[in-house]
A and B are shown apart, each in its own frame.
Chain A
Amino acid sequence: MEEKKEKNGFEPRLVGILCRWCSYQGADLAGTSRLKYEPNMTVLRVPCSARMSPLFLMKGLTSDIDGILFSGCHPGDCHYISGNMNARRRFVIFKKLLEFAGMEPERIQMSWCSASEDKKWADIVDSVTIEVKKTGPNNKFK
C-alpha cells in the first residue's frame, strides 16, 4: 500500500539532450506559444544529435536519472547534413543493448522534433513523463 502511494507521488528526474538547431528551438517555440507541459525534464543543449554519444544514456541511468530523451532534427533536415542519421543508428543499437540487459525501454527515448513543432515537443515531454512515471523510479544502481 505504501509502495503504491510512493509510486503515485513519484516525480521522475528526466533529462532531454537536444540539438540546438531543431529540437531546442522547437522547445523554445513551445514557450513562446505558452504551451503547458510537465516540468520534470531538464534540458541540455548540444550542437547536433550526432553529438549525443549513446554512452550518455548509460551514464545518465547509472547516475540514477529516471529517463533520458535524445531529440534532433528530422531525417533529412540535419543542419550538419547527416548527423542525425548517424545518431539514429548509434541510439537504436545502444537502446537494444540496454533493453537486453534489463533496462526498461521507457527510460531510453529518442525523438525527431523540428523548430516549428512546439506542440509535438510538449506532447513528447508529457508522454515521456507519463511513461517513466508508470515505470517507476530508477533505483537499479542505488
Chain B
Amino acid sequence: MKIGVFVCHCGTNISAVIDVQKVVNDLAKMPGVFAMDYKFMCSDPGQNMIISEIKQKKLDAVIVAACSPCLHELTFRNTLIRGGLNPYMLEIANIREQDSWVHTDRDKATEKAVRLAKMAVAKAKRNQPLFPQEVSVEKSCLVIGGGIAGIQAAIDISSAGYQTVIVEKEPSIGGKMAMFDKTFPTLDCSACILTPKMVQASQSKKVKIYTYSEVEEIGGYVGNFNARIRVKARSVNMEKCTGCGICWQKCPVKVNSEFEQNLGPRKAVYVPFAQAVPNVPVIDCVNCTYYRSKRQNPESKGLCRICEKFCPAGAIEFDQKDKIIEEKFGAVIVATGFSAFDHKVYGEYGAGRYKDVVTALQFERLLNSSGPTQGKILRPSDSKEARTIVFVQCVGSRDESKGVPYCSRVCCMYTAKQALLLKEHIPDANAYVFYIDIRAAGKNYEEFIERVQDEYGVLYLRGRVSKIYRTGDGALLVRGADTLSGTQVEISADMVVLATGLVSNPETVKLGQMIGIPYDKNRFFTESHPKLAPAETQTAGVFICGACQFPKDIPDSVAQAGAAASKVLGLFSQEHLMLEPVLACVNQKICNGCFHCRAVCPYNAIDEEILKDKSVVARVIESKCHGCGNCISACPVSAVDLKGYTNEQILEQLQSLR
C-alpha cells in the first residue's frame, strides 16, 4: 500500500511554528510512504499537485497534514475522487488548529506534527474504500394530526403536487383551533379563517384524510416509511352519508359534548361541530342504546335503532369493523398538538368541584355564538349572567410544584382576548386578571394588551391566586395578592376562568418511541437543533410542527408547518438519497446474539437475523444507522465494527505512538 503525505504550510500559519521540512523528512522515512509539502494545499495548484501525485506514484491513500478536517475534509475528498481514488481513502492530520496555533515551542510542535501525521498514516493503512448507499424516495407524506399545523403542512405539500395523507384521531379535522371563538390580536373569528383551510384540504385531490383514525405502527427509514393506520369503525358509511343530520336530530341519547368541553349536550350519534370535515357523524358505542343492549345481550336484535330507521341514505352500519390500512411514505410530519392542562391537581382552586370555576377552553365555548349558550356568558351552575369574572393566569404553567415548570406562551394573550370579549359581550361587566408577568412578545401583541387595559378597563393584578371557594350566597371568593401594592386581595366573583396551560398530548411518548423522536422532560418532542433545525428531528425524514414541539400560538404553528412542508418538499425533489457510509456492520460468524448492541442503539438500528444453523444474530439496518459506534463498544466479541473507524484502525493509531 502506497501512501502519500501532503504537508501544508498554510502560508505561515503552520510553517511559522512547525518545521514542515522535518515533518516531510520524518514521514518519508516510513516504509511505503511518499511525502511532500506545499504552501497552500487547498488551493487549486495544491489540489492538482495531489491529483498528479496520486496518478504518478499510484498512491492508494492520501494524508493531508493541514487545517482541521471540519474545514477541508470535503474539499480533499473531492480531490481524491478527481484523482481516481475512493474519497474515504483520505485522512487529515490537523496540524494547524490543534498544533501550530496552540503551541509556541518549535521543536515540540514539530514533534507533535510528526506524531499526528504518523497516526494518520497508521489509520490510512487500514482504510477501505467505502461507498455511499443509494435509496429511493417514496413521494408521499404522512401527516399525523389534523389541527391547523397538520392541515397547513398538508396543503403546502399537496399544492406542490405530492400525495399527502392526514391521520386524525377525532371524527373531524380542525383540532383545538375549531373550538376557539376569536383569535388574538386581530380578533378574527377562528372558524372563519380555519374552515376554508379545512375545506381546501378535503377537496384537494392530493390530500387523503383519515379521521377517527390512529397510526399504529411506523417502520422503515427516510424515503421509505411503512405505516399501519387503524381507521376506527364509525358505524356510518362515509360514501352513503349525505350529512343531512336527521340521525342526530332523532337520536334519543344525550351525553356531554367533548367539543363543548362538557358544557353542552351532544347525541350518541354526532358530528362534533357544525363545520366538521368530513360532515359524517360517528356513533359513540359507549353511550349508544343499541350497542349497550348488544353488550348486555349479544343474541338480541338490539334496542333503539332509531337512527337506522330514519336515515334516508341507509348509511347506518352497526356491524362496521375497524379497518387497517398499510401505506408507504417518504416522509412523516408529526403535528399532534397539545392537551389542555387538567386543573384537578389544584386543590386550592377547588380541583374541579366548583362548576363556576371554568377553564379557558370552556370560556372560549361560552363566548362562541355557536356554543352551548349561544354566546351568552352564563354561569354553568345556575345559568345566570356572570358580571364579575376573575381570570387567573399561569394555572398549569410556571408551576414546578404541579410538574409544569415552563411558560405556556399563549395564556397571557388569550386571557387578554377573553377579558376583552367579555367586555364586548357585557360592557359593564367587571374583569380582573391575576398575572405574574405579562408575556406579549409578538407582532401587535403588546399593543393589544394595552388596549385591553386602557380602553376596556380590565384590571390587572400582579399576583397568584391562593384559594378559590364558594361562599354561602353562591358567589366565588377569590383570595389573591397584588404584589405591586403589597396587599392581600379578595374578590367576590360570579365566575372564575383558569388560564390553563398547554401540556403535551398523552400519546406523545408512545408515538415518539415508535417513530424515534426524542422528547424532553415535559414530554414535548425535541427538535434536531433548537435554533438551526427547529422543524427537523433526530430521525431523518421525520419532521415536527405545531404545539407538539412546544406551546405555540396559531401564527407560529402555521409558520412551522410551512417549514416542515418545505423540508419534505426538499426531500421529495430528490430521486435518490445518498446515505453516509460510516455505518456499523456485524460479523455474523462470531456474533453471539447477546444483543447488547441493540440495548444501547439509540436508533433501533439493530435487528435480529436467523442464520441457517438457527442461531439468532444481530444485523444492522443500514438506513437507520447513524454511525455513532455505540454498539461497537457494547459488543464483547468485537463482532460489530464501524466502517471508517474500525477497532483495528484505532488500535493502529494508538500503537503508532510507541
Given contacts A50-B600, A59-B654, contact A28 B97 (CB under 8 A): yes
Q: Is B94 an interface residue (CB 8 A)?
A: yes
Q: Give the A-B contact count at a CB cut-off of 8 A.
A: 121
Question: Contact between A48 and B103 (Cβ–Cβ < 8 Å)?
Answer: no
Give every chain A residue within 8 A of B627 (Cβ-Cβ).
Answer: 47
Give every chain A residue within 8 A of B115 (Cβ-Cβ).
Answer: 42
Contact of A53 among B69, B98, B633 (CB under 8 A): B633
Question: Contact between A51 and B642 (Cβ–Cβ < 8 Å)?
Answer: yes
Q: Which label, helix, strand, loop or mixed, suits the secondary structure of the A interface?
A: mixed
Give every chain B residue within 8 A of A52 (Cβ-Cβ).
Answer: 633
Q: How many interface residues does chain B have, given as a range? A: 35 or more
Closest beta carbon of chain B to A102's beta carbon, Å: 21
Given contacts A15-B657, A39-B108, contact A31 B632 (CB under 8 A): no
In the complex, the chain B residue whose C-beta lies closest to that of A43 is B98
Q: Give the distance in Å from the alpha carbon of A60 to the alpha carbon of B652 in the complex.
A: 10
Question: Contact between A63 and B654 (Cβ–Cβ < 8 Å)?
Answer: yes
Q: Give the distance in Å from the alpha carbon of A35 to the alpha carbon of B454 in the complex.
A: 56
Question: Contact between B98 and A50 (Cβ–Cβ < 8 Å)?
Answer: no
Contact of A39 among B111, B538, B600, B653 (CB under 8 A): B111
Given contacts A31-B98, A50-B600, A50-B628, contact A36 B103 (CB under 8 A): yes
Give the total of A residues in contact with B, Cβ under 8 Å: 44
In the complex, the chain B residue whose C-beta lies closest to that of A14 is B657
Question: Contact between A59 and B651 (Cβ–Cβ < 8 Å)?
Answer: yes
Given contacts A32-B97, A63-B657, contact A87 B109 (CB under 8 A): no
Give every chain B residue within 8 A of A53 (Cβ-Cβ).
Answer: 632-633, 647
Contact of B102 among A15, A46, A122 (CB under 8 A): A122
Question: Contact between A65 and B629 (Cβ–Cβ < 8 Å)?
Answer: no
Question: Contact between A13 and B628 (Cβ–Cβ < 8 Å)?
Answer: no
Q: Give the distance in Å from the alpha carbon of A122 to the alpha carbon of B101 in the complex.
A: 12
Give every chain B residue within 8 A of A82 (Cβ-Cβ).
Answer: 602
Question: Contact between B629 and A50 (Cβ–Cβ < 8 Å)?
Answer: yes
In the complex, the chain A residue whose C-beta lies closest to that of B642 is A51
Question: Contact between A45 and B69 (Cβ–Cβ < 8 Å)?
Answer: yes
In the complex, the chain B residue whose C-beta lies closest to that of A17 is B650
Closest beta carbon of chain B to A84's beta carbon, Å: 10
Question: Contact between A34 and B602 (Cβ–Cβ < 8 Å)?
Answer: no
Given contacts A39-B105, A42-B657, contact A47 B628 (CB under 8 A): yes
Question: Contact between A47 and B629 (Cβ–Cβ < 8 Å)?
Answer: yes
Q: Give the distance in Å from the alpha carbon of A87 to the alpha carbon of B101 in the complex.
A: 30
Give every chain B residue within 8 A of A30 (Cβ-Cβ).
Answer: 97-98, 102
Give every chain B residue within 8 A of A39 (Cβ-Cβ).
Answer: 99, 102-103, 105, 108-109, 111-112
Q: Is B68 an interface residue (CB 8 A)?
A: yes
Give every chain B residue within 8 A of A17 (Cβ-Cβ).
Answer: 650
Contact of A34 among B101, B105, B108, B603 (CB under 8 A): B101
Question: Contact between B602 and A83 (Cβ–Cβ < 8 Å)?
Answer: yes
Contact of A36 among B97, B98, B104 (CB under 8 A): B104
Give every chain B residue within 8 A of A87 (Cβ-Cβ).
Answer: 633
Convert B98-126 into 0s and 1s, putting 1 for each residue whose CB lies closer than 8 angstroms to a CB of A: 11011111001101100110010000000
Q: Give the distance in Å from the alpha carbon of A47 to the alpha carbon of B655 in the complex.
A: 20
* Sampled A-B contacts (9; CB under 8 Å): A39-B108, A39-B111, A50-B600, A50-B628, A50-B630, A54-B633, A64-B658, A65-B657, A86-B633
Question: Footprint of A on B, CB under 8 Å?
Answer: 68-70, 94, 96-99, 101-105, 108-109, 111-112, 115-116, 119, 518, 538, 582, 600, 602-603, 626-630, 632-634, 642, 645, 647, 650-651, 653-655, 657-658
Please name 15 further chain A to chain B contacts, defined as beta carbons within 8 Å, in addition to the given A44-B653, A63-B658, A64-B658, sorted by A numbering. Answer: A11-B108, A24-B70, A28-B94, A28-B98, A31-B102, A36-B104, A47-B629, A47-B642, A50-B600, A52-B633, A53-B632, A56-B650, A59-B655, A63-B654, A63-B655
